[in-house]
Amino acid sequence: MSAIKDTLILIGDILIFTKDVFARILNSPFYPGRLFDQILQIGYGSLSITIVIGFVTGLVMTLQFGYGLAKFGGTLYVPAIVSVSLLRELAPIFTSLLIAGRVGSGISAEIGAMNVTGQIDAIRALGTSPIRVLVVPRVLATILTLPLLATLASFTGIVGGLLISYLEFGMTAGFYINKVLSTIVFADIFGSMFKCAFFGLIISILACYRGFHTKEGTRGVGNATTWVVVHSSIIILISDFFLSKVILVGFY
């Protein structure tokens, strides 16, 4: 019972924190410079790994589906299957888990270290809001950049699929691209971006919240980063099921 009570208190605390963040997003002053810095750090900093993950996923999926479906004469369906799987599920999930690990842990470690060294108190003592200064730019930057990164991962995955389809299965580029374009619909792209924006919110809020509540010095910072990666990954995977259901029912 105590664990359930603690969990409910934690959820309530995180929801209040989220409400405070949104209240400050809507109120001035706004820090465009800090937002731009975070977009660069989160978005630009994750570009190379996102491209690699998307491209390799496209290569492997095309290879597996290509040889698997060849037994049934279904190789021609590979472009459609690969593009839809990447856009709807694999790219959003892989990219979000990547960002949870790379960015979520980084945010919680940075804010956690600031907390244990008194820098958060210093921001408050200097008459400014740490939520406005530290949290709002990070939350907005993650919400804005994660959908774009996932779309990039989908694109590079489809390019990877094109390469394997041409080299392994003798498909022409024109046929592959035509199949992809005739399969994917606007709802695939919108659904992917919507899910990623939600996952971005989850990752950044959990990371900032945990950073603000870091105790016990450097050990606490380590614990905070682990907590953020584990919890945001679990929430991403569970909420993906429900979001997929909503998108499938609502937009197709």
Partner 1 sequence: MEILRINNVHKAFGEKKVHTGVSLSLNAGETIGLLGNSGTGKSVLLRSIIGLEQIDEGEIYYHDKRIDNLDEEEFYEIRRKISYSFQNAALFDSLNVFENIAYPLFEHTKLTEEEIHHKVDDILKVINMPHAKYLMPSDLSGGMQKRVGLARAIILDPEIILYDEPTAGLDPVNTDIVIKIMNEFKRRGFSGIFVTHDIPSAKRVCDRILILRDGKIYFNGSVEEFNHSTDPFVNTFGSDHRGQHAIP
Q: Which residues bind partner 1 (CB under 8 A)?
A: 114, 117-119, 121-122, 124-129
Least separation, in Å, of the C-beta of 127 and partner 1? Answer: 4
Rounded CA gap, 95 and 32, in Å?
25
Handedness of CA 114, 120, 122, 127 (dihedral sign): positive
Least separation, in Å, of the C-beta of 117 and partner 1? Answer: 7
Least separation, in Å, of the C-beta of 173 and partner 1? Answer: 47
Given a contact cutoff of 8 angstroms between Cβ atoms, the answer to whether 212 and 121 are in contact is no
Least separation, in Å, of the C-beta of 133 and partner 1? Answer: 8
Closer Cβ to partner 1, 90 or 224, answer by number:
224
Least separation, in Å, of the C-beta of 118 and partner 1? Answer: 4
SS3 88: helix
Rounded CA gap, 59 and 76, in Å?
16
Closer Cβ to partner 1, 125 or 249, answer by number:
125
Closer Cβ to partner 1, 51 or 109, answer by number:
109
- Report which residue type is found at 129: S
Closer Cβ to partner 1, 74 or 118, answer by number:
118
Closer Cβ to partner 1, 120 or 201, answer by number:
120
Rounded CA gap, 74 and 67, in Å?
9
